[in-house]
Structure 1
C-alpha cells in the first residue's frame, strides 16, 4: 500500500501588528504597523494616559486645537488627536511607505482634518517656523538614541502657540537634573515637565515652555 505523501506544513505570515485609537469619533479603530520599517508605536496604555493628561489641562476642549506630529510613524498620536476633535492635525514622516499607509488610513476614516507631509522632520519643522505656522500641541516620538529631541525641541519653541504643549517620548529620562549636579542642557533649559511617567523602557512627558507657565 502506497503511503500518502507527508503534508508540508504551511507557514502563514503572522497577522499584522496593530494599535488602536483610544477615544473619540474613531474609538477602537485599528491602525496597522509596518514591520519592515521597524516602527515603534506609542503603546495604547501610554497614549491613554497622555491624552487623559491633555484632556484635564484643556478641559476636554479640542475643537480649535492645531496639532503637529513630527515623526508620525503609524499615525497613532495624530489620528488620536483628530479622533478627539482637533481642528487640524499635520503629520510628517520621511518614509514613502509610511505616508502611503497613512493616506490609506486617512481615507478609511474620512479624516479630512488631517494633513500628511512626506519630508525630513527637522527640515519641515524649520520651514513651518519660517512660514509662521503655530500649533497648540506637538508630538515628538522620534527613534530613540539618535538625539532627535535635542534637535527638535529648539525648533518647537518657534512652532508652539502661546500656552501650547509638547509631548516628548524617549528611551531615557530627560536630563532636567543631571547626575553631576550641573544645569540642564541648553536645548532642554527653556522647558518644564508638566507631567511625566514611565512604562517599561518608554519615558514620556508633557512639556511646556517655562515662560508660558502660570
Structure 2
C-alpha cells in the first residue's frame, strides 16, 4: 500500500501482510482508493477535501484518512477498536509525520456518543462487510453530531448498502467486489 496522490504521493505505508481476518482488517486497495479520490475530486458534487476535517471510521490502516491529508485535508480523526489496526495506524501516522494533525481514538464506531467539537466535513466508512455495522455507525455519527451539515460521506461495502435516515445518496459505483456509495445529510 502507498499514498496515491498529493504531497505524500508514493509514500509506502506499513505492510499489512495477509491482513487480520479475525479482526476483519481488509485495507482498501490502491486501485479502489484512487477511484474514490478521483470521484471526490472530479465529481459534480464539489471537491470536499481541501482544508477538510476528516473522520475515518473503522480506520484500519488509516490509508483513506492519510490520503486525504496528503491531498489537502487539515485534520483527520481515526476511529478503530482493533489492536492490529491501531498498531498499523500508528505506524502509518508516524511514516507520514502526521501526529500533529491527527487524532487516533480506540472506540467502537457504532457507539460514538456525543461529539464535543464541530462536525466533520468528510467521513470515510469502511466497516467489515455484510455485518450491518455501517448503518449503525452512521446512525451513531448523525445522532452524536459528528457529521457536519453539507458533509460528504464515503461508504465502502460489499453490496449496495441500505438507506440511512438523515442521509441521501448522491452517487454509487462498483469497483470489483467493493461498492462505494457517496452520501450527504438530507
Q: Could you tell me the TM-score, scaled by structure 2's length?
A: 0.86
Q: Which runs of 5+ in 1 are unaligned?
A: 1-18, 177-187
- Return closer, same or farther for 1:23/1:60 CA change in 2, 3 Å cut-off: farther
What is the count of residue pairs matched by the alignment? Answer: 177
- Counterpart in the other structure of 2:156: 169
Which runs of 5 or more residues in structure 2 are unaligned?
Answer: none
Corresponding residue number in structure 1 for 2:41: 55
User: Residues 163 and 78 of structure 1: is their aligned pair in 2 closer, same or farther, counting only changes over 3 Å?
Assistant: same
Structure 1 residues 155, 133: CA separation in 2 closer, same or farther (over 3 Å shift)?
A: farther
**Partner residue of 1:46?**
32
Listed one character per residue, the Cα deviations across residues 49-99 of structure 1 (whole Å, up to 9, x for unaligned) are 211222234347512x10001101111101111111211100111122321
Task: Please give the residue correspondences for 1:55-94 in structure 2 after superposition, counting only pairs within 5 Å.
Answer: 55-56=41-42, 57-59=45-47, 62-63=50-51, 65-94=52-81
Does residue 114 (structure 1) correspond to residue 102 (structure 2)? The answer is yes
For residue 147 of structure 1, what is the aligned residue in structure 2? 132
Bigger RCO of structures 1 and 2 (CA < 8 A, at least 6 apart)? 2
Match of 1:9 in 2: none
Contact between 1:139 and 1:168, CA under 8 Å: does it hold in 2? yes
Counterpart-to-counterpart distance in 2, 1:20 and 1:108: 11
Normalising by the residue count of structure 1, what TM-score does the alignment of the two structures yield?
A: 0.75
Confirm or deny that 1:134 pairs with 2:119. Answer: yes
Moved over 6 A (4+): none
Does structure 2 conserve the Cα–Cα contact (< 8 Å) formed by 1:135 and 1:161?
A: yes
CA distance 1:26–1:156, change in 2 (3 Å): same
- Tell which structure's C-alpha radius of gyration is larger: 1
Contact 1:195 1:205 in 2 (8 A): yes
Q: Which residue of 2 aligns with 1:207?
A: 183
Q: RMSD between aligned alpha carbons?
A: 1.9
